[in-house]
């Protein structure tokens, strides 16, 4: 039985889709999320086989969510939308299928049948992800969108991944890999990324091999492994 995660900002739409999926007898509901930020954590935690994803959501839409997911945990994707215009884009994003709202039992049955015919494990879509311009972070019960241009550096620890700015640091569910590949931040250490535009100076050292000082005054370690590449990116 395939495990599904439902992501939609409308409670009624989530409840209706859940009921229809359960009626098929072929789908186990791994969870429901009202927004993309909660979905980031849920996908990493639950590792669903398929994501039923609303396209139009406030703050972060469905396509942006896919850009924020590490490819290693990206499930098969079924876009759910109220607009025909999104159907073509859905297939451009290598979606397994798309559903138009309101979802009917008959159309959903075809989707579930199509998913069941896919090889196991289901092939993951190759998403032509747009570059990140904002990083969704947790700020209490709120979602804070940090402009990438304001990020000094990013650090990873046992407690999670933290985006560091002049105003403070914020926990995010994005991985270092996603922030490096899609956000344009540069790896300077196994556990650190740095924004080249925010570097003020590089101080030589031994362990670490160097230290970056950002415009906000933060000190970021540079390991020997990444020093040469960082200097090249800076034209040094």
Q: Is the pLDDT of residue 74 over 60?
A: yes
- Mean pLDDT is lowest, of 8-12, 71-75, 145-149, 186-190, for 71-75
Q: How many CB atoms lie within 10 A of CB 90?
A: 23
Q: Is the pLDDT of residue 122 over 60?
A: no
In this predicted model, which residue has the larger pLDDT, 121 or 195? 195
Q: pLDDT category, 129, cuts 50, 70, 90?
A: low
CATH of the domain at 39: 3.40.50.2300
For the segment 167-181, the average pLDDT, to the nearest whole number, is 93
For the segment 187-213, the average pLDDT, to the nearest whole number, is 94
pTM for this structure?
Answer: 0.77
Domain boundary among 85, 117, 149: 117
Range of the domain at 209: 135-233
Confidence (pLDDT) at 89: 66
For the segment 31-42, the average pLDDT, to the nearest whole number, is 92
179 with 215, same domain? yes
For the segment 192-202, the average pLDDT, to the nearest whole number, is 96
22 with 88, same domain? yes
Q: Is 59 left (phi over 0), alpha (psi -120 to 50) or beta?
A: left
Cα 68 → chain centroid: 2
Beta bridge partners of 171: 138, 162
Tell me the percentage of the chain whose pLDDT exceeds 70: 91
Sign, CA torsion 195/196/202/207 = positive
Residue 124 lies in a domain: no
12 with 81, same domain? yes
11 with 48, same domain? yes
Residue 128 lies in a domain: no
Residue 31 lies in a domain: yes
For the segment 50-79, the average pLDDT, to the nearest whole number, is 88
Confidence (pLDDT) at 113: 92
CB 152 within 8 A of CB 170: no
Residue 92 lies in a domain: yes
Q: Is the pLDDT of residue 126 over 60?
A: no
Q: Is the pLDDT of residue 216 over 60?
A: yes
Residue 127 lies in a domain: no
Q: pLDDT category, 82, cuts 50, 70, 90?
A: confident
50 with 143, same domain? no
| Greatest Cα-to-Cα distance within the chain, rounded to the nearest angstrom | 66
Sheet of strand 76-81, all strands in order from the earlier edge strand to the far edge: 27-33, 2-7, 50-54, 76-81, 97-100
Backbone angles phi, psi at 171, to 5 degrees: -75, 135
Confidence (pLDDT) at 31: 97
Q: Is the pLDDT of residue 159 over 80?
A: yes
Domain boundary among 54, 87, 117: 117
Give 3-state DSSP helix, strand, coil % of the chain, rounded to 5. Answer: 35, 35, 30
Q: Is the pLDDT of residue 85 over 80?
A: no
110 with 145, same domain? no
Q: How many domains would you assign to the chain?
A: 2
For residues 221 and 202, give the distance between their C-alpha atoms in angstroms, rounded to a whole number: 10
Domain boundary among 50, 83, 117: 117
Q: Which residues contact 128 (CB under 8 A, 6 or more apart)?
A: 92, 93
Cα 152 → chain centroid: 20
94 with 184, same domain? no
Strands 76-81 and 50-54: parallel
Please, where are the H alpha helices in the chain? 11-24, 36-46, 62-68, 85-92, 105-117, 176-183, 224-233
Residue 101: name the closest of 64, 32, 35, 54 by CA. 54
Confidence (pLDDT) at 83: 80
Q: pLDDT category, 95, cuts 50, 70, 90?
A: confident
107 with 12, same domain? yes
Kindly report the average pLDDT of the chain as a whole number: 89
Residue 27: name the closest of 102, 114, 99 by CA. 114
Q: pLDDT category, 119, cuts 50, 70, 90?
A: low
Q: pLDDT category, 67, cuts 50, 70, 90?
A: confident
Residue 154: name the closest of 191, 208, 181 by CA. 191
């Amino acid at each position: 039985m395939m495990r599904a995660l439902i992501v939609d900002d409308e409670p009624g739409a989530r409840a209706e889709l859940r009921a229809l999926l359960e009626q098929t007898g072929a789908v186990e509901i791994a969870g429901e999320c009202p927004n993309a930020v909660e979905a980031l954590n849920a996908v990493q935690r639950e590792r669903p086989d398929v994501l039923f994803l609303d396209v139009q959501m406030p703050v972060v839409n469905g396509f942006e969510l896919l850009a924020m997911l590490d490819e290693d945990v990206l499930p098969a994707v079924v876009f759910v939308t109220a607009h025909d215009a999104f159907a073509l884009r859905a297939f451009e994003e290598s979606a397994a299928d798309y559903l138009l709202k309101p979802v009917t039992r008959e159309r959903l049955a075809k989707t579930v049948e199509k998913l069941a015919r896919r090889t196991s494990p289901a092939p993951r879509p190759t998403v032509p992800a747009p570059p990140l311009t904002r990083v969704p972070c947790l700020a209490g019960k709120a979602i804070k969108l940090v402009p990438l241009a304001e990020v000094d550096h990013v650090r990873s620890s046992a407690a999670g991944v933290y985006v560091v700015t002049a105003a403070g640091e914020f926990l995010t569910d994005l991985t270092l890999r996603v922030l490096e590949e899609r956000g344009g931040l540069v790896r300077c250490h196994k556990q650190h990324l740095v924004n080249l535009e925010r570097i003020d100076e590089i101080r030589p050292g031994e362990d670490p091999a160097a230290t970056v000082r950002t415009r906000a005054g933060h000190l970021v370690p540079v390991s020997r492994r990444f020093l040469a590449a960082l200097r090249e990116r800076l034209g040094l």
